[in-house]
Structure 1
Amino acid sequence: MRADDLRFAGTPHTEIRFSGTPDHQSATRSDRTNLPDQVEAGVPYRDVRIEYRLQNTIDE
């Protein structure tokens, strides 16, 4: 995702959960540019970039 300007009206709550069969493995990774892990409501963030990766492996 890319944004020239980004501002949050409130502090977001995020959560990542995986469900499914027991024989799977999942992993995520995000790389942020100009956006801290904990954002603040009303603070302008400029030239933002987020790269998000999701990896799943299902065992036979």
Structure 2
Amino acid sequence: LTEVVWAIGKLRWGPALKPMSELQDKVWLIHDNSKEMAELREAASWTYKAIALQDAAMLQTY
């Protein structure tokens, strides 16, 4: 899942903004301090920010 989240972030695929927001909220509610969960949290956070910034930049150009 982490690799998929990173790939979506690298593509900055706009339609994924809402699902990424939901995923980001959910991964922080899970009480798991494993390395894998930390990596997923980082990927979800970075991906959400990347897509949100891309959308904001697109809105400013119009």
TM-score by length of 1: 0.28
Q: Of Structure 1 and Structure 2, which has the larger fraction of its residues in strand? A: 1
Q: Of Structure 1 and Structure 2, which has the larger fraction of its residues in helix? A: 2
TM-score by length of 2: 0.27
